[in-house]
């Protein structure tokens, strides 16, 4: 286990700035393994040692993995001067640390993973890994077998980029069609642009799955929870 400065551990847990944490130590409000801490720079192993802050145990977690059912109108970013962001929906002790893994458009709902594990983020987003993402969508216009066949070959977007093959499943077809589509990339507005290439408009989009991680349908829009050990193992390919 890695040793870290006490003030850094406490600051990373959202207990204040380094300066504010030093003040807590000066007031003798921090204990490590039953002994009052006197040096904010002392090195601790937070996973193994008992740290009390004003008599309350510190529930330390080095890595955070959060599933969010993203609502529309919220952007997939850590900060924005005009819009509410996905991290604004989280408790402050998580919001200051995590980042969204990939992006969902502002009007797109559904599964979004947030974490401070950069290595996992990279593995999930790397094109080489070909991590698939499944969406449910409503389409203005009739989706047919022709579109299924064309998606399977990849679609040329408005900027000339030809996407990787995608799996398109028709749930209902008519003036408004319902579909599921699975892609292995995350180009800007990709699903919308793939349908736009055929003169079709996506009117509703929701992400259901990323790799092995399924959206917990019991989560209301804007709700979140930590991943289970099984979900995390699946993402890591364990």
Query: Looking at 88, 105, 107, 132, which residue is catalytic?
Result: 105
Provide the pLDDT for residue 181.
98
Q: pLDDT, tens digit, for every residue of 161-179?
A: 999 999 999 999 999 999 9
Homologous superfamily of 4-57:
RNA-binding S4 domain (3.10.290.10)
Active site residue 216: no
What is the mean pLDDT of the segment spanning 127-135?
91
Is the CATH number of domain 132-210 3.30.70.1560? yes
Mean per-residue pLDDT, 64-79: 95
The domain defined by 65-127+216-236 carries CATH number 3.30.70.580: yes
Residue 61: band (very low, low, confident or very high) from pLDDT cuts 50, 70, 90: confident
pLDDT given at position 96: 79
- Arithmetic mean of pLDDT, 209-236: 96
Decide whether 4-57 matches 132-210 in CATH topology: no
Whether the predicted pLDDT of 151 surpasses 80: yes
User: What's the confidence (pLDDT) of residue 63?
Assistant: 87
- HEC profile for the chain? CCCEEHHHHHHHCCCCCHHHHHHHHHCCCEEECCEECCCCCCEECCCCCCEEECCEECCCCCCCEEEEEECCCCECCCCCCCCCEHHHHCCHHHHCCCEECCCCCCCCEEEEEEECCHHHHHHHHCHHHCCCEEEEEEEEECCCHHHHHHHHHCCECCCCCECCCCEEEEEECCCEEEEEEEECCCCCCHHHHHHHCCCCEEEEEEEEEECCEECCCCCCCCCEEECCHHHHHHHHCC
pLDDT of residue 13 exceeding 80, the answer is no
Q: What per-residue confidence (pLDDT) applies to 177?
A: 98
Looking at residue 149, what is its pLDDT? Answer: 98
pLDDT at 60 over 80: no
User: Cβ atoms within 10 A of the Cβ of 167, count?
Assistant: 14
Domain definitions of the chain by residue range: 4-57, 65-127+216-236, 132-210
The tokens describing 52, both together, are 């009390």
pLDDT band at 201 (very low <50, low <70, confident <90, very high): very high
Confidence at residue 31, expressed as pLDDT on a 0 to 100 scale: 94
pLDDT for res 58 = 83
Q: Is the pLDDT of residue 16 over 80?
A: no
Q: Which of 132, 129, 143, 131 is nearest to 194 (CA)?
A: 143
Residues recorded for the chain: 238
């Amino acid at each position: 286990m890695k040793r870290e400065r006490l003030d850094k551990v406490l600051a990373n847990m959202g207990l204040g700035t380094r300066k504010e944490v030093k003040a807590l130590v000066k007031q003798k409000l921090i204990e490590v393994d039953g002994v009052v801490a006197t040096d904010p720079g002392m090195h601790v192993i937070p996973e193994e040692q008992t740290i009390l802050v004003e008599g309350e145990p510190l529930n330390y977690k080095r890595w955070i993995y959060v599933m969010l059912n993203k609502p529309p109108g919220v952007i997939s970013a850590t900060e924005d001067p005009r819009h509410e962001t996905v991290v604004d929906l989280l408790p402050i002790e998580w919001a200051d640390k995590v980042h969204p893994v990939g992006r969902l458009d502002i009007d797109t709902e559904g599964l979004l993973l947030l974490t401070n594990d950069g290595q996992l983020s990279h593995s999930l987003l790397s094109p080489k890994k070909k991590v698939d993402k499944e969406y449910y969508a409503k389409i203005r216009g009739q989706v047919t077998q022709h579109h299924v066949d064309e998606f399977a070959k990849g679609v040329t977007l408005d900027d000339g980029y030809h996407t990787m093959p995608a799996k398109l499943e028709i749930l209902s077809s008519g003036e408004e069609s319902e579909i599921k589509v699975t892609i292995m990339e995350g180009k800007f507005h990709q699903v919308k642009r793939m349908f736009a290439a055929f003169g079709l408009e996506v009117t509703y989009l929701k992400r259901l799955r990323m790799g092995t991680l399924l959206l917990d349908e019991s989560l209301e829009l804007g709700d979140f929870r930590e991943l289970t050990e099984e979900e995390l193992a699946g993402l890591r390919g364990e």
